[in-house]
Amino acid sequence: MAPSIHPLIDNGITPGSSTFSGGKLHCHCTSDQVEITLNSNVAHNHACGCSKCWKPPGSLFSIVGVVPRDAVSVTANASKLSIVDKEATIQRNACKVCGVHLFGRIERDHPFRGLDFVHVELSDEKGWQEPQFAGFVSSIIEQGSHPKEMDEVRAKFKAVGLQTYDVLSPVLMDLISTFTAQKSGIRFANL
Ligand SMILES: N[C@@H](CCC(=O)N[C@@H](CS)C(=O)NCC(=O)O)C(=O)O
Ligand SMILES: [Zn+2]
Ligand SMILES: [Zn+2]
């Protein structure tokens, strides 16, 4: 059987709701679950093939979106959380027991600081923004996917209407470069 891209992609994409305003995420523990309450829908939701983002077992990709950090609170079992890699740009807070990543936060000066990274599949609610694109696609080779399988993987995203990129989408790459330009002193009129 062909490997799963991700359960939210494999059988077609279900559109989210423009009026949906958040919900709760839970880790995979069978008791004392870590609970995160999000007071916002996600934005820029996408498939990520990088090795650092949490993926459900058997899937090649993570699905990850962002929410303002002020909209994120840990509402149960915070003591089970631990940061996976304190040196990484994104500090991914994972459940120490089941390994699921509940939220990723950026503390250093960065274009995405102020936004937390979350996986909406950890929620039972419906209405979360559907995936918009696939990023870091070539990175799955670094985790063992065969280079010759890449055409098939990219075709699967195309078949459900998603563009594939090997870093991020043009909108997000432009945001990063705008931030970098401004840090170097360049000023843009009418942004
Ligand atoms: N090819 C690398 C790419 C890692 C990477 O750059 N991931 C992106 C997308 S999540 C990132 O922004 N990482 C920042 C971080 O992990 O802190 C891998 O697969 O490990
Ligand atoms: Zn857990
Ligand atoms: Zn990633």
Residue 3 pLDDT class (50, 70, 90 cuts): confident
**Ligand closest in space to the Cα of 122:** 2
- 185 counts as catalytic: no
Residue 50 designated active-site: yes
Domain membership flag for residue 60: yes
Domain that includes residue 119, residue range: 23-184
Residue 3 lies in a domain: no
What does each C-alpha distance from 16 to 8, 20, 30, 45, 62 come to in angstroms?
A: 12, 8, 27, 11, 18
The CATH number given to whatever domain includes residue 98 is: 3.90.1590.10
Interface confidence: ipTM more than 0.90: yes
pTM over 0.95: yes
Q: Is the residue at 170 inside a domain?
A: yes
Asked if residue 10 is part of any domain, the answer here is: no
Active site residue 48: yes
Query: Is residue 2 a part of any domain in this protein?
Result: no
Assigned domain for 180 exists: yes
Atom 4 of ligand 1, residue of closest alpha carbon: 50
Total number of domains in the chain:
1
Atom of ligand 1 nearest to the CA of 49: 19
The closest alpha carbon to 24, from 37, 12, 43, 34, belongs to 37
17 is in an annotated binding site: no
The pLDDT tens digits for 68-86 are 999 999 999 999 999 999 9
